[in-house]
Amino acid sequence: MSASSFSIAYGTKTIAYRVVRRDRRTLQISVLPDMSVEVVAPRAANDADVRQRVTRRGRWILRQMEFFRQFHPKTPMRRYEPGETHLYLGRTYRLKFVKSDTSSVKIIGSRIVIGLLNPTDRDAVRTQLDAWQKAQARVWFERRLLVCIDRFSDKDKVAPKALIVRQLKLRWGSMSQSGRLLLNRSLIGAAKSEIDYVITHELCHRVYHHHGAKFYELLDRVMPDWRKRKQSLERRLA
């Protein structure tokens, strides 16, 4: 198997794509979740023919890239300073540091209060807050997963084989072919209704492993207001 990288100009956009050549008769164009474009082509296909096919599918490629862009979190650079704002379950909280013999993180009013032996140690603050967010994400995602599964008539069919919480750079969530649900830890900043949208979207992939008409028919049926939730998520975490 060989691979080469190319690009085309499509209107005001540039579409970069990777060509993988295999022993096959047909050419397939895919837009991957990280918004990269992969073309699987027959070994005999020449570069000009491939370029022409990519150009013809340019509008579709850009639509698919825009679709996947909605799942790409846009997290600002964090400095972990007093008063810095952080989102938790859709609400905005400001960081407050206090000196304490016992490390802790608590929500008190509109503050996330972090207790540390040395509250001026930014690395220690980040480590403590990250551990708390990860633990909270695990608890809340498990709760919301149960709620979302109840939306489906065939609960056993959509229930994932495993739930994995991890810090992701490119997506809010994904569902593997084997049924492993992966959720971005940063999604803990979203409101519960928005978390439900991401989870429900991924559960639909247990039935349809694509974004075709059948997939959206199912999503519309189990969550009729998913578009509103998606827009809310995009506004909150943009």
Q: Taking the domains of the chain in order of start, what are their residue ranges?
A: 2-69, 85-237
Give the H or E element holding residue 21: strand 13-22
Return d(Cα 52, Cα 196) in angstroms, integer. 41
Least Cα distance to 95 among 105, 238, 186, 123 occurs for: 105
Taking only the tens place, the pLDDT of each residue in 37-75 is 989 999 999 999 999 999 999 999 999 888 877 666 555
Least Cα distance to 27 among 47, 7, 9, 6 occurs for: 47
Taking only the tens place, the pLDDT of each residue in 79-93 is 888 999 999 999 999
pLDDT of 161 > 90? The answer is: yes
Return d(Cα 208, Cα 146) in angstroms, integer. 20
Q: What is the mean pLDDT of residues 155-173?
A: 91
Percent of the chain clearing pLDDT 90 (strictly above)? 67
- 184 with 173: CB under 8 angstroms? yes
Tokens linked to 3? 């691979």
pLDDT recorded at residue 3: 67
- Mean pLDDT, rounded, of the chain: 90
Return d(Cα 31, Cα 167) in angstroms, integer. 22
Taking only the tens place, the pLDDT of each residue in 209-232 is 888 889 999 999 999 999 999 888
Give the H or E element holding residue 183: strand 180-184
Percent of the chain clearing pLDDT 70 (strictly above)? 95
pLDDT recorded at residue 69: 73
Least Cα distance to 8 among 52, 60, 46, 64 occurs for: 52
Q: Given CA atoms 64, 66, 71, 77 in this order, what sign does their dihedral have? A: positive
User: pTM of whole model > 0.85?
Assistant: no
Least Cα distance to 80 among 107, 109, 120, 108 occurs for: 120
Return d(Cα 201, Cα 181) in angstroms, integer. 11
pLDDT recorded at residue 71: 66
**Domain 85-237: CATH superfamily, name plus number:** Metalloproteases ("zincins"), catalytic domain (3.30.2010.10)
**Please, which residues bridge with residue 85 across strands?**
94
- Tell me how far the alpha carbon of residue 106 is from its chain's centroid: 27
pLDDT recorded at residue 36: 85
